[in-house]
Amino acid sequence: MKKKINLIINNKKIDCFKGQTILEVARENEIDIPALCYHSDLKIKANCRMCLVEIKGKKGLFTACSTKIEPSMEVITDSPKIKKARKINLELIFAQHCEECNDCIWDFNCQLLKLAEKYKIKTGRFLDRKTGYPVYQFGPSLIFDSSKCIDCRNCVDVCQQQGVNFLEIKEKGHLFQVIPSQDENKDCIYCGQCIVHCPVGAFEALGEFEDVEKPLQDKDKIVVFQFAPSIRTSIGEEFDLPYGSIMTEQLVAGIKKLGVNKVFDTCVGADFTTTEEANELIEKMEKGTTPCFSSCCPSWVKFLEFNYPEFIPHLATTRSPQVILGGLIKTYWAKKENIDPEKIIVVSVMPCVAKKYEIRKKELAVNGMRPVDYVLTTRELAYLFKKHKIDLAKISPQKLDDSLGIPSGAGVIYGASGGVVESALRTAYEKITQKKLSKIEFKQVRGMKGIKKAVIEINGKSVKIAVVNGIGNAKKVLEELKENPKLYDAVEVMACFGGCIGGGGQPVPTDGKIRQKRADGLYQIDVQKEIRLAHHNPIVKKVYHDFLTSEEIIHSICHTKYSPKKREVEIS
């Protein structure tokens, strides 16, 4: 039991727990303290010096983020002195940040702007210090505009927490600044956690604002959209709806309003991924070549290819849901609908910036075509909606096109950490035992913990499972496997915290509580589904019966190959 203590903030008595900081207690009690470098995912840095408070009986100002509460402490969060200090520091921070408010992922939710208004700062007091600072591009996925950086270093810390260490602090002319590493042994894996942890929008997806219309502009083409599992419970945030709101049919309606011909659900692709991946797991278990690693997170795949190529044989060769569905759209569906596949443009809406990288992989080509032509992030689609004055909060819902079926519950939970393994287990259980699975849910693998371990009994055999979210944790599991290669049978890895619901393409802000609500929404959808096992999905059965009939075809649509990677990101 945590020890309860009393605290007074602004003359109000508050119950809280020993070990908490002033900022945590204040936020829980809806007392506003500005903080730019604070993020609940990261360790406390106390760099920005905005969360200043006074403590009765103590001299000076204290940073609320780093000061632990003490019994009967009396905290004051607003005084002329506090105001003055915050205001001047804010003016200094503001002068580091070259604003580009129209093209910013924080849109009108910008903390800097809100604080500037609240503290009535003189925005022009100093000349912008970072005018002309470089913009760096990280592969086909994201950009870092260092002229917007306020040196809070959240990005550096999250990149380090991810075990990637691509962002570094280097001194240039007596001033330290954040720059991408030049080290050939380090490479960005495009997880985009820097984007969602930057308080001022210095990072964004490549083409986040400039290129969103591109997929819709070619009038001779048939534009087909698909959207990822996790999108449906996150995009509502962009329209001021509560966290975790389920928006599946509003999404369909919104996308159609953009003039799009067909809207499919990537969760259907996930049902194919599950079926194939379950087969791979069963095969590896039979041959004794486990562990079997999940393969639908492109950041994880790149991380492994770059840092741990010796583990490549363990990576499932199954393609990710968007790629399988894209491949099926341009083959099976095109044929069925009598459409020239060359005329189809497939656009995926993903919670992810690494998916922009994934679709460019040459080895994924189907009949010489890219299965997916464009990837838009959740944020980009919301921006596109807003640009076209489409308000998802008000739109009348529309059903999905069912010419490529509707997803099972298993496909939907892909968006949360543990979802892939749970889906595969549901299917693998039935395939191995030839019995109906009575207890469908594997709750042991759910939740936000960085590494979850479980042992599941199937047919008297123990299947050892590790579920990882946050790629930094993958390092730990891989190091364990180096020591003991048979420690796990199935390993699911998602590079982002909480899985895709915490992806780098998701709305900001993103934190642990928000991720949990997005995940809760997905599990709620699953519960309501009649079909909750991927291989029970009629479209899966039908496509395997009618189209995916040979090893060769299955391979060309559903599988890929990997190779050790050298550094790809070039920094000039």
Partner 1 sequence: MNKDIINKLKENELLGRGGAAFPTGLKWEMVKSAKAKKKYIICNASEGEPNVFKDGFILENYPAEVVSGVKIALENIDCSSAYIYLRKDYYEKFKETLEKLIGNLSITLFKKTGGYLAGEETSVFETIEGKRPEPRIKPPFPSQAGLFGCPTLINNLETFYQVSKIAKNQYKKTRFYSISGEVRNEGVYQLPEDQSIGQTLRETDNWPNFDFYVQSGGGASGEILLANELDQPVRGQGAIVVFDRKKTNPFSLMKKWINFFLEGNCDKCTPCREGVYRISEMLEKDKIDKKLLKDLFFVLEETSFCALGKGVVVPFHSLISKVLGEKI
Question: What is the binding site for partner 1 (CB under 8 A)?
Answer: 44-50, 52, 60-61, 66, 81, 84-85, 88-89, 92-93, 95-96, 125-126, 129, 151, 169, 174-176
Identity of the residue, 93 or 301, whose beta carbon is nearer to partner 1 in the bound complex: 93
Query: What is the closest distance, in whole angstroms, from the C-beta atom of residue 154 to partner 1 in the complex?
Result: 13
Identity of the residue, 60 or 368, whose beta carbon is nearer to partner 1 in the bound complex: 60
Name, in order, each residue with C-beta under 8 angstroms of 83's C-beta and a sequence gap of 6 or more.
119
Helix/strand/coil (H/E/C) assignment for every residue in 513-544: HHHHHHHHHHHHHHHHCCCCCHHHCHHHHHHH
Q: What tokens does 476 get?
A: 């730990």
Q: Are 224 and 347 in contact (CB under 8 A)?
A: yes
Verify cis geometry, omega within 30 degrees of 0, for the bond prior to 291. Answer: yes
Identity of the residue, 21 or 290, whose beta carbon is nearer to partner 1 in the bound complex: 21
- Measured between alpha carbons, how far is 369 from 362 in angstroms, rounded to an integer? 9
Identity of the residue, 57 or 242, whose beta carbon is nearer to partner 1 in the bound complex: 57
Query: What is the closest distance, in whole angstroms, from the C-beta atom of residue 82 to partner 1 in the complex?
Result: 10
Identity of the residue, 51 or 105, whose beta carbon is nearer to partner 1 in the bound complex: 51
Query: What is the closest distance, in whole angstroms, from the C-beta atom of residue 509 to partner 1 in the complex?
Result: 21
Identity of the residue, 82 or 312, whose beta carbon is nearer to partner 1 in the bound complex: 82
Identity of the residue, 52 or 481, whose beta carbon is nearer to partner 1 in the bound complex: 52
**Burial level of 313, CB count in 10 A (0-12/13-18/19+)?**
exposed
**Burial level of 17, CB count in 10 A (0-12/13-18/19+)?**
middle
Identity of the residue, 88 or 282, whose beta carbon is nearer to partner 1 in the bound complex: 88
Inter-CA distances, 539 with 268, 325, 420, 525, Å: 8, 12, 19, 19
Query: What is the closest distance, in whole angstroms, from the C-beta atom of residue 93 to partner 1 in the complex?
Result: 6
Query: What is the closest distance, in whole angstroms, from the C-beta atom of residue 135 to partner 1 in the complex?
Result: 21
Query: What is the closest distance, in whole angstroms, from the C-beta atom of residue 68 to partner 1 in the complex?
Result: 8
For residue 554, the SS3 value is helix
Query: What is the closest distance, in whole angstroms, from the C-beta atom of residue 150 to partner 1 in the complex?
Result: 8
- Measured between alpha carbons, how far is 296 from 303 in angstroms, rounded to an integer? 13
Query: What is the closest distance, in whole angstroms, from the C-beta atom of residue 63 to partner 1 in the complex?
Result: 8
- Fill in the DSSP letter of residue 331: I
For residue 372, the SS3 value is coil
